[in-house]
A and B are shown apart, each in its own frame.
Chain A
């Protein structure tokens, strides 16, 4: 029973997937693309590989003729952080980001010719992070300015995923106006949802950049990302901290969350359960012989192995340092000899012109 109880407190997932969707196009929606790309960067940094990330973007920012810094998408003003870079893999780009494609990705009902990078190949031990951003309203989310997905459709899609055993646990984050309306209708188990604003509130954008001319990020995602910057693969921060991330004073809107469908206590849910790809490793001292008689293998497993503490990563790399690295710029200073020579000359000229009698005023 002890083991059963322990199971409830630890996540039983073996792989992590992320579906990151930006539902806006056009230049003035720069911030939605920057939001999604920043989350993409964080998720990649924490270990989820590109093969497990389905990134859906309109991808018309970096090469937009209105972009004063081509081939870049910045998420901080003063252009500190280029989240586009040259290793971003967008799976669904431009006009492929539609409601139909999104639902097909989630439910897996995809034509057989779809390449592997465009499929969500999750199983019943997958923890999936679904992040959506764009323009939304009470009960719907607008896709590319031409269609919308309703909260009922989304809830039904998640139910299809549950019935087809396509997820172990799901974290749904939405950063739009009236975002909480999107998770009101969920009814499938093991779903935790976060939204940037309640029904009737608007989510606001964060920083305009005068060099680029548009707002670069939304507030909620900005503060979530600040929070995620502190997370490294070995961190033990839990979901309760994520719920506190953007208080009304910073976000102006009231972020909301829903945990009633989730079986574990959010206190015990690590951030890296969804945002990272942390493998559970159990070290054993026994040799394991792999031979034909594998049918009875599981019964030989000693029961007390499962009760051990999950092992943590050793601090091999100074992760916190690498994350926050920026080379310190050394300022140039004129050499002392030059300054001395110049001022000596100036003083000499001054005294030559105005006579030596002024010297006594100096000394």
Chain B
């Protein structure tokens, strides 16, 4: 499987290199859908320039990236394009290896459940076979590399690519079963943008499952392992934050990075939901609503953990999607990351109800974003409501996509254990409804 992956990687690198040389690079680097105040390349360059002038890069509310990014780009600023291409390639390769391993796990688990007779007799067509799962890792890498969202994000040199890469390595480490590496990468991802904190739960569930520790609240081994993993994670996070202190000898990166992410002071329009609300909100409500909106991101973790405790990787996918929809400064690079996972659940296709409408909604909204931006900002014949409407539609489309996949997944699980042809008590045919 290495050769097709190499071909895909070469094609992706060629596309990105060609686009770097074209005029698209300058155009896309300015688009608000692709870059946000957190990860714009212009701001990284500005921060490094401020540093060269002897001023802290965090003064002036321009630069909101972490000190490790300063360190990385201080030495690699001339090779920035190469760095971003390599990052994308690393993300794709990490996802490829992760999904390869995950497929093996799925297959093993499936075999176990078949042998234990946990499946109903007539579900043969729902069982995943190695034949159809063979190309899934390649498709995942392809989906990530050739997704126009990730191409644009790479050409705009948005540091979202680095965040995606760290999350991909975290997923790889988790699926391979190394708690230490997974904690380290999760700490790095949390350090860069706060929201991957919620990925702690699915990673923990997966590692517990791998160690065959049952998830019961009374069980001592469960708590022991949880404590170990949590302490690894927190210790790495603390070490990384302390190390960043030593880069600039000041703590002012904490309000600039985390304070900025949490308090959302910059209301530049983006594809998220925060900007419009806070642009029109009264001052004395803004604290309350900021808290509400931020809790919204973290809120789905516990219920999803309860529902999806046997399927932690799907939980991880849903969680990543929720982060990229509800985070304070989303960009299309975040969307590209969870879309890369869609081939893994391609066996759910027959249960998806709205996939045609949703894909149309997402594609049309992606095209309408620049149009309505132009109408609002340049032509002056629209206003922010138009752009917000498209943002809203895009996010509703994403949410419906995720909930559709969630529904399909649960439906398949139900069919697996209860059989494809459901009958009621009196023998008539029954329909499965998600309540």
- Known contacts: A334-B74, A345-B243. The answer to whether A352 contacts B180 by CB under 8 A is yes
Against A, the Cβ 8 Å flags (1 = close, 0 = not) of B242-283 are 010011010000000000000000000000000000000000
Chain A count of residues within 8 A CB distance of the other chain: 16
Given A331-B52, A332-B51, A353-B178, A338 contacting B184 (CB threshold 8 A): no
Residues in B whose Cβ lies below 8 Å from that of A333: 74
Q: Which residues does chain B contribute within 8 Å of A335, judged by CB atoms?
A: 246-247, 249
8 A Cβ contacts from A311-363 to B: 329-335, 337-339, 341-342, 345, 349, 352-353
Report chain A residues within 8 Å CB of B180. 349, 352-353
Q: For chain B, which range describes its interface: under 10, 10 to 19, 20 to 34, or 35 or more residues? A: 10 to 19
A337: chain B residues within 8 A (beta carbon): 246
Pair A330/B246 contact, Cβ less than 8 Å: no
Q: A residues within 8 A CB of B68?
A: 342
Q: Which A residues are CB-close (under 8 A) to B184?
A: 349
Q: Which residues of B contact A345 (CB under 8 A)?
A: 239, 243
User: Is B54 in contact with A338, judged by CB distance below 8 angstroms?
Assistant: no
Q: CA A337 – CA B245 in complex, angstroms?
A: 11
Q: In the assembly, what is the distance between CA of A345 and CA of B242, in Å?
A: 12
Given the interface contacts A352-B180, A353-B178, does A338 sit within 8 Å of B52 by beta carbon? Answer: no
> Within 8 Å CB of B247, what residues of A?
334-335, 338
With the chains together, A134 CA to B70 CA distance in Å? 48
Q: How far is the CB of B54 from chain A (nearest CB, A)?
A: 7
Structural contact, B52 and A349, CB atoms closer than 8 A: no
Q: How far is the CB of A336 from chain B (nearest CB, A)?
A: 10
Across-interface contacts of A329 in B (CB, < 8 A): 52-53
The answer to whether A353 touches B243 (Cβ under 8 A) is no
Chain A, Cβ-Cβ closest to B50 = A332
Asked if B386 is an interface residue, CB under 8 A from chain A, the answer is: no
Q: Any chain A CB within 8 A of the CB of B25?
A: no
Interface of A is mostly: helix
Q: Closest residue of chain B to A353, judged by CB?
A: B181
Q: How far is the CA of A147 from the CA of B108 in the complex (A)?
A: 90
Q: Which of A332, A333, A339 is most buried by chain B, counting CB atoms within 10 A of its CB?
A: A332
Q: Mark B273-308, 1 if CB is under 8 A from A, else 0.
A: 000000000000000000000000000000000000
CB distance from A33 to the nearest CB of B (A): 28
Asked whether A342 and B243 contact (CB < 8 A) given A353-B180, A353-B181, the answer is yes
Would you call A341 and B54 a contact (CB within 8 A)? no
Cβ of A332 and Cβ of B178 under 8 Å apart? no
Across-interface contacts of B414 in A (CB, < 8 A): none
CA of A137 to CA of B274, assembled, Å: 63
- B181 contacts which of A332, A339, A349 (Cβ < 8 Å)? A349
Q: Does B71 contact A (CB under 8 A)?
A: yes
Task: Please measure, in the bound complex, the distance between the C-alpha atom of A332 and the C-alpha atom of B53, giving whole angstroms.
Answer: 8
CB distance from B179 to the nearest CB of A (A): 11
Q: Is the CB of B181 within 8 A of A341?
A: no
Minimum distance in angstroms from A328 CB to a CB of chain B: 12
Q: CB-defined interface of B59-94 with A at 8 Å, one 1/0 digit per residue?
A: 000000000101100100000000000000000000
- B71 and A332 contact, CB distance less than 8 A: no
A334 CB contacts on chain B under 8 angstroms? 70-71, 74, 247
A112 to B52 CA separation, bound complex (whole angstroms) = 56
Give CA–CA (A335, B239) in the complex, Å.
17
Residue of B whose beta carbon sits closest to that of A331: B52
Given contacts A329-B52, A345-B239, contact A338 B246 (CB under 8 A): yes
Contacts of B52 in A (CB 8 A): 329-332
- The residue in chain B whose Cβ has the minimal distance to the Cβ of A349 is B184
Q: How far is the CA of A338 from the CA of B51 in the complex (A)?
A: 16
- Give Cα A333–Cα B54 distance, bound, in whole angstroms: 11
CA–CA, A332 to B178, complex, Å?
A: 37
CB distance from A334 to the nearest CB of B (A): 5
Which one, B54, B70, B71, contacts A330 given CB within 8 A?
Answer: B54
Measured between beta carbons, the chain A residues less than 8 angstroms from B51 are 332
CA distance A301 to B213 in the complex (A): 115
In the assembled complex, the Cα of A345 lies from the Cα of B181 at a distance in Å of 12
Q: How far is the CA of A19 from the CA of B181 in the complex (A)?
A: 75
Complex CA distance for A337 and B247, rounded to whole angstroms: 8
Minimal beta-carbon separation of B172 from chain A (angstroms): 12
Contact pattern, A 118-134, Cβ under 8 Å of B = 1, otherwise 0: 00000000000000000
- Distance in Å: Cβ of B77 to nearest Cβ of chain A: 11
Please, which residue of chain A has its CB at the minimum distance from the CB of B180? A352
Beta-carbon contact of B243 and A341 below 8 Å: yes
Complex CA gap A349/B71 in Å reads 19
| Bound complex: CA A330 to CA B53 (Å) | 7
Please give, as numbers and ranges, the residues of chain B lying within 8 Å of A349 by CB-CB distance: 180-181, 184
Q: Which residues of A contact B54 (CB under 8 A)?
A: 330, 332
The closest CB in chain B to the CB of A340 belongs to B246
Q: Nearest chain B CB to A324's CB is how many angstroms away?
A: 21
Cα of A111 to Cα of B54 in the assembled complex, Å: 56
List the B side residues contacting A342 at CB < 8 Å. Answer: 68, 71, 243
C-alpha gap A349/B52 in the complex (Å):
31
Contact B243 A338 (CB under 8 A): yes
Report the minimal beta-carbon distance from A136 to chain B, rounded to whole angstroms. 36
Distance A334 CA – B239 CA, assembled complex (angstroms): 18
Query: Which B residues lie within 8 Å of A352 (CB)?
Result: 180
Specify which chain A residues have a CB less than 8 angstroms from the CB of B249 in the assembled complex.
Answer: 335
Q: In the complex, what distance in Å separates the CA atom of A352 from the CA atom of B178?
A: 10
Closest to B53 in A: A329
Instruction: Report the Cα distance A337→B178, complex, angstroms.
Output: 29
Give Cα distance in the complex from A352 to B179, angstroms. Answer: 11
Q: How far is the CA of A337 from the CA of B249 in the complex (A)?
A: 11
Q: Shortest CB–CB separation between residue B74 and chain A, in angstroms?
A: 6
Closest chain A CB from B212 CB (angstroms): 22
Q: How far is the CA of A330 from the CA of B68 in the complex (A)?
A: 21
Cα–Cα distance between A98 and B100 once the two chains are bound (Å): 79
Q: Is the CB of B71 within 8 A of A338?
A: yes
Residues of chain A contacted by B239 (CB below 8 angstroms): 345
* Cβ–Cβ < 8 Å partners of A331 in chain B: 52
Query: A128 to chain B: closest CB distance in Å?
Result: 44
If A339-B71, A341-B246, A353-B178 are given as contacts, then 15 extra A-B residue pairs at C-beta distance below 8 Å, sorted by A number, are A329-B53, A330-B52, A334-B74, A334-B247, A335-B246, A335-B249, A337-B246, A338-B247, A342-B68, A342-B71, A342-B243, A345-B239, A352-B180, A353-B180, A353-B181
Q: What are the 3 tightest A-B residue pairs by CB atom distance, in nearest-first order?
A: A332-B51, A338-B246, A338-B247
Q: List 8 A-B contacts (CB under 8 A).
A: A329-B53, A332-B52, A334-B74, A334-B247, A335-B249, A338-B243, A345-B239, A352-B180
Interface residues in chain A, defined as those with a beta carbon under 8 Å from any beta carbon in chain B = 329-335, 337-339, 341-342, 345, 349, 352-353
